[in-house]
Each structure stands twice: as C-alpha cells, then as structure tokens.
Amino acid sequence: MNYVDRVIEEIKKKNPNEPEFHQAATEILNGLRPVIERHPEYEKAALLERFTEPERTVMFRVPWVDDAGMVRVNKGYRVQFNSAIGPYKGGLRFHPSVNLSIIKFLGLEQILKNSLTGLPIGGGKGGSDFDPKGKSDNEIMNFCQSFMTELQRHIGQDTDVPAGDIGVGAREIGYLFGQYKRLRNEHVGVLTGRGLTYGGSLARKQATGYGLVYMVEEAMKCRGDSLTGKTVVISGAGNVAIYACVKAQELGAKVVAMYDSNGYIYDKNGIDIAVVKQIKEVERARIKEYVNRVEGAEYHEGCKGIWTVPCDLALPCATQNEIDEASAKILVENGVKYVGEGANMPTTLEGIAVFQAAGIVFLPAKAANAGGVATSALEMAQSSGRMYWTFEEVDAKLKNIMINIYHNMDNAAKEYGVEGDYVSGANIAGFMKVAEAMMAQGIV
Ligand code: NDP
C-alpha cells in the first residue's frame, strides 16, 4: 500500500468516531499525492503521521451558573495542532454540535490556511458544546469567564492566540479577554477579533467575507469575467455571510438568497443587507423576520432548498457539509459557474467531485476564507507594535493577501500537473512551507 493510503487508513483506525476529521484528512492527503511522489524522504521522516497528529490536545470541564441559579457543565477544547511556522492560531467555536472530531478537522485545515496567508502563524482550534442561543448576556459572561479560567493556562501571545468562530463574536471575545487580563494581569494580544477600544484591528470584522469576495473577483478577472450583474446565493447570516454579501453587492453582484439555521430568504430584487444586519447582528433574531420588513421577499423553512435557487456564484458561509452531492448537482444543472467556500469544509467530498467534474471554478475554504485569520495576524502585528493602521490600510493588505493566495494555489496546481484543481493547489502550496519547517526542526 502506498504511503498516503496507509496514513489515511491509520488515521481512521487510531481516531475512531471522528468522521469530520477523517473527511478533512482524506481531502488534504489526497491533494498531497503529487508532493509525496516528489519527496520520498517524507515517508522516512513520518512527516504525514506527525502532520496529522496534534502536538497537544487539551480537554476540560466548564462549569457555570445560569440565571436560575442552576449549575451547568459543558465540555471545553483546545487543539494545538502545529507550531512549525509560528504560534498556534485559530478560532473558538461555541455550538452544541462541537466535539473533538470537529475541532480536529478545523485545526488540521487551519495549519494549511495559516501557511497560505504567508504570515508566521501555526494552526490550532478550540471551542465548546455550549449553545449561546437563548442565553442572557449574564449567562454568556459566566460561561466565557469559566472557559477562560482554564484556557488561560495554555495560551499566550507567543504561544497560542485564539479568535472567534461560530457563536463567538465581539461580545464573547470581550468577556474572554477581560477574564484573561484579570487572571494574568497582562494586556496583550492573546486573542484577536478584539474591540477597537482594546487592541482590535479595523476591518477584522469584515475580513473573512470581504477576503472571500476579493478572491472570487480575482478568479473571475483571470477569466475575463467580473461580478457585475452576477446572481449570488450565500448560505448563513452570520459574520462571514453578511460581509461577503456587502462586498459582493458593492462590486455589482445581486445576492438573492441567504439563510440561518431555520430556513432561507429569497429576495428577487436583491437582499437588503441593512435589514439582515439589524435582525441578526443587533436583534439576534431569526432571519424569517426579513419578510415582515421587505416587500416581495419569500421565506422557506429548512436550509437545503437554498441550493435550488439558480445562481452564477454560490458562497456557502454557514457551516460544514452544507452542500452534498445532490445539492452540488442541482447547482450545476442551474448553471453555477463559481463556488467560493466562506465556511470551513461546507462541501462534502462527493459535492467537490461534482463541481470539479463539471469544470466549475471551485475555491476551497482553506484559501478562500483565509482573509479572517490573515487579518487576525495583522491585528497581532499592530498589537506588538503598539500602533493602529487605518481601515483602508488593513483592507488593502487583505486584498493583496487574497490575490497572492489565489495565484500561489493556481501556480502550485500548475507546477504539480493538476491545473485548475484548487483543492490540490491550496493543499500543496500550504503544505510545502510547513513541511520544510518541520523537516528543518528535526524529529519533534
Ligand atoms: P456565525 O456564528 O457568525 O454565523 C454562522 C451562521 O451560520 C449563522 O447564520 C447560523 O445560523 C448559521 N449556521 C450555523 N450552523 C448551522 C447549521 N448547522 N445549519 C445551518 N446554518 C447554520 O459564524 P461565522 O460567520 O463566523 O462562521 C461561519 C463559517 O465560516 C464557519 O464554518 C467558520 O468556521 C467559518 N470561518 C469563519 C471565520 C471568521 O472570521 N468568522 C474565518 C474563517 C472561517 P443561526 O443564525 O441560526 O445561528
């Protein structure tokens, strides 16, 4: 059995009941086959085995008290996956579906994503099965303080710098940072996504969504195409989805559908994103409220139907495995030309195969949504330098980074004989830098 197949098999055997981790590892290792052929020395160094085994996994109890005085207990995680090229960096996710498999898949992806940004950041990820939905601000604060009371032992501005993800936005980062500062007595850049009054960076909030659209724009430009007049479907109504919508509309596209975890809205006149922001960011309410405020809009219960809405560009920006084989087929039949992944692993392996067979321009998450972590690294640079850049400066750097990532993955795909296959291109371009650093640092 060849080296890649053997490692995939071992991963499944050694990490039972971790389907999301198996899926991400399989996708990545399959993409690395041309690299392994060219570098037989990696097998002797057990490079793939080391690359797919976290350097450290921390799991802990998070007890907290709800508003009724009841004690609740959640699970906490931090997977410090790879620090070959810099301190661990990656978000925290608070969602009831969180388990070790999900955190490990996200952490593994993060290593390559962070490498692709060209910035010195390693890969990590963390979170909890805590569900912020329906909780009061006081309950959120109690939970965040308890979570950080344990997490602070394991992180630090030069060790591991967490950020937000699903369920962890500005409010949660504020409470987490406050508790870190109180326990450690240091005001340092230990978390990114901080508020602008305490070390945050302008444009961080917009970065993932904007970055995604900058990459799509570049892919279109290279094909003599543009966003002007294009019809777009975006899943999700959170941080990534909202700012992807803002930027796509600014560049002349029409976004006609979005969803939250209950159902999707369709607005043939183009989504009024100010209304979505008011509902989701300010009121923390359900997206179906949109139809009460915008004439002519429709609401459909359930999420999956969103992929039956015809579009030129699909931007899945909610969560993993949103687009399966059947949804991918419908999108292709309805004429989709570009798919850009804003969420992490939103397309199943079977879905990706459908897009690639149909010749769709498919921009994978680890490249297309790297704008968030890239801007987090810019936040770290501003913190260490005790200075601030303007919105325009950060935005210009972000755009430049996204364009560079696009060309790096495009070039890597060409160099390794898989032109246009950006799944392989992104995996190869991200992996080569990490592999070289790991080989140089000896058996660690
Ligand atoms: P948010 O929590 O801000 O928003 C997530 C959105 O997706 C919400 O609208 C939520 O619905 C919806 N959603 C979540 N889970 C499901 C589900 N199981 N089914 C249907 N809808 C769901 O998260 P973000 O926007 O920050 O993150 C979205 C994705 O982007 C994630 O995959 C994340 O890992 C990825 N990402 C985020 C980055 C960032 O900078 N924030 C950076 C890189 C990647 P509801 O409103 O009902 O909760």
Cβ(343) – ligand 1 distance below 6 Å:
yes
pLDDT given for residue 273 in this prediction: 98
Query: Are 232 and 303 spatial neighbours (Cβ–Cβ below 8 Å)?
Result: no
pLDDT given for residue 9 in this prediction: 98
Indicate the class that CATH gives domain 206-368. Answer: alpha beta
CATH topology of domain 54-187: Rossmann fold (3.40.50)
pLDDT given for residue 277 in this prediction: 98
Q: Which residues are catalytic?
A: 125
For the CA of 280, the closest atom of ligand 1 is 46
pLDDT given for residue 320 in this prediction: 94
| C-alpha of residue 408 to centroid of ligand 1, in Å | 27
Per-residue pLDDT of 58-85, as tens digits, reads 999 999 999 999 999 999 999 999 999 9
Instruction: Of 80, 155, 77, give the one whose Cα is nearest residue 123.
Output: 80
Same fold, 54-187 and 206-368: yes
- Domain ranges, ordered by start, for the chain: 1-53, 54-187, 206-368
Cβ(238) – ligand 1 distance below 6 Å:
yes
Q: Which two tokens stand for residue 337?
A: 């030309």
222-228 CB contacts, 8 Å cutoff, 24+ apart: 222/406, 222/410, 223/361, 225/337, 226/251, 226/252, 227/251, 227/252, 227/253, 227/313, 228/252, 228/253
For ligand 1, atom 3, which residue shows the shortest CA distance?
238
Alpha-carbon gap, residue 118 to 104, rounded angstroms: 22
pTM of the model: 0.95
pLDDT given for residue 191 in this prediction: 98
Cβ-based burial of 263 (10 A; exposed 0-12, middle 13-18, buried ≥19): middle
Residue-wise DSSP of 258-311:
EE-SSEEEE-TT---HHHHHIIIIIS---GGGHHHHSTT-EEEEBSGGGGGS--
Cβ(148) – ligand 1 distance below 6 Å:
no
pLDDT given for residue 60 in this prediction: 98
- Report residues of the chain scoring pLDDT below 70: none
Q: Which residues partner with 347 through β-bridges? A: 323
Cβ-based burial of 157 (10 A; exposed 0-12, middle 13-18, buried ≥19): middle
Q: Which two tokens stand for residue 124?
A: 């990590």
pLDDT given for residue 340 in this prediction: 98
Alpha-carbon gap, residue 239 to 247, rounded angstroms: 13
Question: 331-350 as b/e, with b when 16 or more CB fall inside 10 Å?
Answer: bbebebbbbbbbbbbbbbbe
Query: Are 280 and 257 spatial neighbours (Cβ–Cβ below 8 Å)?
Result: no
